Amino acid sequence: MSPPIPDSSAIPGRLTYTLRVASLNVWNPGPDKTQRNQGLATALRERNLDVVLLQEMDGTAGQFELFRQVSGLPYGVRSGDVAILSRFELKDFEAPDLPRKPSLTPIRQLLNRRDVYFCLAAFEHHGTRFHVSSHHWDNRQLVNRKTAAAATAARMSHVPASTVILCGGDFNTHQDTAELQRVMAEGLLNSGAPGDFIDFILYRGPGVQVLKQTLERFPGLTDHPMLLSEFILVGSRPAVA
């Protein structure tokens, strides 16, 4: 069950702002791939985001830098086909290599073997540590999703209760499956309403409230929706030059 949504972002007697966190799978095949990447990165900039979790990147520095520069977010980390962009300075980057059983079909999966299922980093804001991670799990091999789920849950279990977790991406499974439930058993909540989705932004932590989550589609640019979750945080929002 998702938590109740508060009526406003005001906390009496305290300075607050809305942290805007988006998750987006950017896969966009075709001859106009650069144009599509530019369009998606521009859309991210227009939405004035704080943290962006990206999936199905092509693994090149060029694509990553395009998204980082056009989105207007100064900090970023990447590994394999997952990445994180941020208004906040990122540190303590991790991207564990995990064993993967390749699928026999289609052959493209054998050629594009993905051993990185998620990357994570941390930032500090007003005395609170934030642990953020971008995830892309396999869509064909159940054994690989189990591997990713076990590794994700194990990593989350070591995050102190005083640290906020923002965990999102394309999990290629539904909320009620054993794989995602294994992760959510670490105290993570869905920041959106339950539904027939495979993309999620999950969270955990003291003093964090969900204002709302919206879903937006970009026809012709990617076949995945962008999730945008808004969280109420204490403190002022840092500026981006």
Return the structure tokens found at 120: 């994570």
Return the structure tokens found at 144: 């690989």
Decide if 46 contacts 19 (C-beta within 8 A). Answer: no
What average pLDDT is seen over the chain? 88
Complete domains list, the chain, with CATH:
16-234 (3.60.10.10)
Please check the confidence at residue 192 and state whether its pLDDT lies above 70: yes
- Rounded mean pLDDT, 14-36: 88
Could you report the per-residue pLDDT of 171-191, keeping only the tens digit for each? 999 999 999 999 999 999 999
pTM passes above 0.95: no
Least trusted range by pLDDT, from 7-21, 78-92, 150-164: 7-21
